[in-house]
Structure 1
Amino acid sequence: MTSSPASRRSFLTLALATPLTAAALTSCGGSSGPGEAPEGGASMWILTGQPGEGIRTDAVDAFNAANEDAAITLTAFQNDAYKTKIRTAMGADQAPTILPSWGGGGLRDYVRNDKVEDLTDFLEENTELRDSLFPSAFAAATVDDRIYAVPCEAVTPIVFYYNKAVFEQVGAQPPTTWDELLALVPVFNDAGIAPIALGGQSRWTNMMWLEYLYDRIGGAELFQSIYDGEPDAWSQPASIDALTKTQELVRAGGFVTGFASIAADTNADQALLYTGRAAMMLHGAWTYGSMKADGGEFVTGGDLGWMTFPSVEGGVGDPSATVGNPSGYYAVAASATDAEKEAAKKFLAEGLVTDATTQAWIDNGSVPIVLGSDSLFQDSEDAEWLQFVYDLASGASTFQQSWDQALSPTAADKLLENIEKLFNLSITPQQFADDMNTTLES
């Protein structure tokens, strides 16, 4: 079974995001079982990692204080642990009542297997919630013109960060083209500074480089052909070019030594940037908040710089295009009882997106997906950053959803395996493409 070309396309060109961090399992709040809810209430799983975890927890606490008869019980997981746990729970019909989703291919698989509730009518009944959110945020939650998850939280494109102090130290300017980026590699290496911080052990951080190179070289149509399942789409000339350029950067020493053993989930890659041990980093907009919290005066003192991804000479991609995660999403498990679903929907309608959560995301340097939230930026010390993200997301010619979310879980797993091999130089670009072609769905 496949979705229509129109519904496939909507995932990629309209999606506007939530922090994803990962590793071991932790817990905040109790739970009686894998997906067991308290009597009269609902169970909910959330992702760890600040500032998002705190905002999510505060939202549930506020809702519970006003709705004791429909209380939400929380369990928190780090990203990778959650991905494993939720697959098992969904397969066994033991999922929590409310579960995080990234939309795209994973949600589509849940829909095909009748694992999540259709929330279209719920959103029609709760127009105040629906109409308060970016319309484009619903695209990655839509399957065959029906909505299966509620958008929430923040918009987070992938951003090219740099350390102004180390650039000044070597007398360099931030790169605006791929050739300029390559030229900076020996400059920083000779100065004893890693050109680029990368948490390669996490693999999805490596993927960000490919996403932008595919876009800058082949344009939005390149990945669209992959998503549409066109034969041999991964081995198109623009695809091979992007894969080749990636390995050229690796071979040139562009990434920090030992990047394959650095975990993004511990924010070790961010630490390399804000301590001046690395000059640049490509990462999600959500890292601004954690760098502000952990990096001392690196952010508040003005040493953090940001920009769009460099252009590639000869590429056909629009320089205004961006990539990243659509909004955060929460779905409701189809296996939940009627009482649990009622409590869950009450929380989604009243507790998920509030004035308090909107302000909390802004206070932590994130752009909420709430319409008109930019009017609140002027009083924030992060106003310049917030406006950059808002303009980048709203002004993008296309906003490509992260590949490991847009693709089916099976194809996404294969993609991450091959990306790891590509960056470790254990396969060629053509071998990467040939293997990925086997995952295409027509």
Structure 2
Amino acid sequence: MRKNRMVAAALAAATATALVLTGCAGGGSGGSGDPTDVNPDGEIEPREISWLLSRPADGGVITAMQQIADEYAEENPGFALNLITTPDRPSYIQKYETLAAANKLPELFDTDATPFAQKLADQGRMVDAEALLEDLGLYDDYRPAALNYQRFDDGSLYMIPFEFQLEFFWYNKALFEQAGVTVPETLDDFPAMCTALREAGITPIALDGQDQWPLERYMAYHPFRTAGPEYVQKLKKAEATLSDETGTAAVEWLASLGEAGCFQEGFSSTGYADAQAAFTSGNAAVYNIGTWELSNLATENLDPAVRDDIDYFTLPLTAGAVTAANEYVTPSGIGMAVNSKTYDPLVRDFLAFALERYPEVYAQTGALSPTSTVETTIPANATPLYERAVDQAGDVGEAIAMPWDTQLDPASNTRLQQELTLLIQGEISAEEFIQTMDETIAENAPEAFK
């Protein structure tokens, strides 16, 4: 899903399995399939196939795919789709990497475009998703941004998206008016906005600091605007440093958010639900979250006391920004990879059926499809903001502000999350943050990206 994050508890296991994976490249039974043979010869013999997932069991993706699998089974007796669900992302990553190291991944499995997944692809253990979609005649149906989010740095595509989201800064117009502030025109306007809101007795930004990935989004914003998506691709490989002009500006901006008190007191221990409640109850002025929360932010489910005051703005620019206003965080969620070792005529036939049917079924839930071939069903209880947000999906640029937790190696990412909290809380300086993270990435990147 969108909460891409790694925690220290899973780090040791992930590192160990990554080493095993590196050591078994091309050996054993793994990688025996041809990743480019997307239309294998043979009879379609129905059986149970499995999908290792990191998605909510009652979420739209699983609900839609279960319905589609049942439809396929009616036409192909003996077929069944076994959904192995572990929605907790750190636990999922540990399970996924352990199975990969043992060459026991099922037919389908979820993964982000991480360094670990890149190793799997390099070893020929994942079907070429671009070749598959093209062979099925579906490639052009997908939103370019949805596919681009799943690509590795070299542009290759090995994961298929099942979602499409836009991440906005939701804000309370009444609280802005009370504090005499307007929507920030640039990222550099954030500290002044926060200061004015604080002086009016208003919590500026509600943040889920407990899960760590929301704060990490803020780390990605400034360099994306000033240097583009290529910056993190270089940084994660230690080909750029936070001590350079782009990195220093980003860290100093983050430090200024902390100094201005942008986030609520005790943000580091605030969970997802509590952060959202702070905003929807009118106790915080801004909330940075994606369109997966439309049902809570743009329908009559929202408290009537604040419903008419809610609006949103997209990621502001910076002076001399190299990315466009319609380019920001537009994730397509965790992708689905296809195991080349177990890929056969049945898996292909099911995917052909499922991927053709999925957009319509999924869009009927009120969600944005990763394709542009269907219209999202607007719920009957939606506010005008819902349709506006859905319409905005049609005006999204090519560059994507990638979440850094899907880009950095696990050890560097864990350290980044820890240091970000200390920086915002004023417990370390910008200079200390930069030195620590540059040393951490330099130490871990060579092994992760060799």
Per the normalisation by structure 2, the TM-score is 0.76
Q: Out of 292, 302, 327, which is 1:296 matched to?
A: 302
Q: Out of 184, 194, 203, which is 2:193 matched to?
A: 184
Query: Matches of 2:346 and 2:296 in 1, distance apart?
Result: 32
**Are 1:197 and 1:281, in contact at CA under 8 Å, matched by a contact in 2?**
yes
Correspondence 1:103-142 to 2 at 5 A: 103-127=113-137, 129-142=138-151
**Are 1:161 and 1:282, in contact at CA under 8 Å, matched by a contact in 2?**
yes
Q: Out of 350, 366, 370, which is 1:347 matched to?
A: 350
**Are 1:210 and 1:242, in contact at CA under 8 Å, matched by a contact in 2?**
yes
Shift of residue 194 of structure 1? 1.1
Query: Matches of 1:430 and 1:86 in 2, distance apart?
Result: 37
Query: Matches of 1:350 and 1:151 in 2, distance apart?
Result: 16
Query: Matches of 1:390 and 1:174 in 2, distance apart?
Result: 23
Sequence identity of aligned pairs in percent?
22
TM-align CA RMSD: 3.5
Query: Matches of 2:306 and 2:203 in 1, distance apart?
Result: 23
Cα gap change, 1:397/1:369 in structure 2, threshold over 3 Å: closer, same or farther? closer
Correspondence 1:10-409 to 2 at 5 A: 19-20=2-3, 40-49=47-56, 53-67=59-73, 68-78=77-87, 79-127=89-137, 129-142=138-151, 147-154=157-164, 156-226=165-235, 229-230=238-239, 232-264=240-272, 267-292=273-298, 295-297=301-303, 301-313=307-319, 318-326=324-332, 328-334=334-340, 336=342, 341-352=344-355, 354=357, 357-358=359-360, 360-361=362-363, 363-364=365-366, 366-373=367-374, 381=382, 382-391=386-395, 393=396, 396=397, 398-409=399-410
Tell me which structure has the larger Cα radius of gyration: 2
Cα gap change, 1:408/1:373 in structure 2, threshold over 3 Å: closer, same or farther? farther
SS in 1 for 2:51: strand
| Paired letter, 2:3 | L
Aligned residues: 397
Query: Matches of 1:216 and 1:145 in 2, distance apart?
Result: 21
Cα gap change, 1:317/1:384 in structure 2, threshold over 3 Å: closer, same or farther? closer
Query: Matches of 2:99 and 2:189 in 1, distance apart?
Result: 48
Cα gap change, 1:293/1:349 in structure 2, threshold over 3 Å: closer, same or farther? farther
**Are 1:271 and 1:295, in contact at CA under 8 Å, matched by a contact in 2?**
no
Query: Matches of 1:270 and 1:191 in 2, distance apart?
Result: 21
> Mind listing any 5+ residue stretches in structure 1 that lack a counterpart?
1-17, 25-38
Determine which structure has the larger strand proportion and give its number: 1
Shift of residue 208 of structure 1? 1.0
Cα gap change, 1:66/1:297 in structure 2, threshold over 3 Å: closer, same or farther? same
Cα gap change, 1:221/1:384 in structure 2, threshold over 3 Å: closer, same or farther? same
> Mind listing any 5+ residue stretches in structure 2 that lack a counterpart?
8-45
Per the normalisation by structure 1, the TM-score is 0.77
Structure 1 counterpart of 2:29 = none
Shift of residue 318 of structure 1? 4.1
**Are 2:5 and 2:212, in contact at CA under 8 Å, matched by a contact in 1?**
no
**Are 2:332 and 2:370, in contact at CA under 8 Å, matched by a contact in 1?**
no
Deviations 1:85-131 (A, max 9, x none): 2222222233332111222534213223444334454334311x323
Query: Matches of 1:269 and 1:88 in 2, distance apart?
Result: 33
**Are 1:64 and 1:71, in contact at CA under 8 Å, matched by a contact in 2?**
yes
Deviations 1:231-281 (A, max 9, x none): x433212211111111121122110111100123xx322221111111002
